[in-house]
Amino acid sequence: MRLTTKGRFAVTAMIDLALRQHAGPVTLAGISERQKISLSYLEQLFGKLRRRQLVSSVRGPGGGYCLAKPLEAVSVSDIIHAVDESLDATNCGGKGNCAEDQRPCMTHELWTSLNEKMFEYLNSVSLAELVAQQRERTGTAAVLHDERPLRRVRRPAEELVAA
């Protein structure tokens, strides 16, 4: 039993999106660069997230992705299920045909209970909580600051004055 990169990357990308959407749609290229996740992989994940109506896309210049629901309404389990990730500790996929005689194995109930607890926990953690934790951890109140060096753009009026 383990959470694959698909689920991990989807949750990470959704936190990144939630942290930055206040400034408008967030590009997948930006998420890819910040989180070191392949752009083509993010495109696949966000296609699934969009189909599950967790994100919406904006086309054209200045386009990107925005959350389609409030932060509080999106749970970690919503994100993981949206990208077709399943967390299952059983050997039989929950079917109960673990043993050679197609009956549940001796530990089937143990692993089934673990599955239920994992789902309950992941369903109880909202994207809003993860964003708040990230802001607290990085010391940012509400807005992340762009750390890129500023470029001065010379305007035509400035060129006339300078000449």
The confidence band for 133, taking pLDDT boundaries of 50, 70 and 90, is very high
% of the chain at pLDDT higher than 70: 79
pLDDT tens for residues 83-112? 977 777 777 776 777 666 677 778 888 888
Choose among 125, 134, 22: nearest CA to 67: 22
Q: Supply the mean pLDDT for the chain.
A: 83
Which pLDDT belongs to residue 60? Answer: 87
- The predicted model gives 35-57 an average pLDDT of 96
Which pLDDT belongs to residue 145? Answer: 42
Which pLDDT belongs to residue 104? Answer: 79
Give the contacts of 117 (CB within 8 A, at least 6 positions apart). none
Residue 107 main-chain phi, psi, to 5 deg: -105, 10
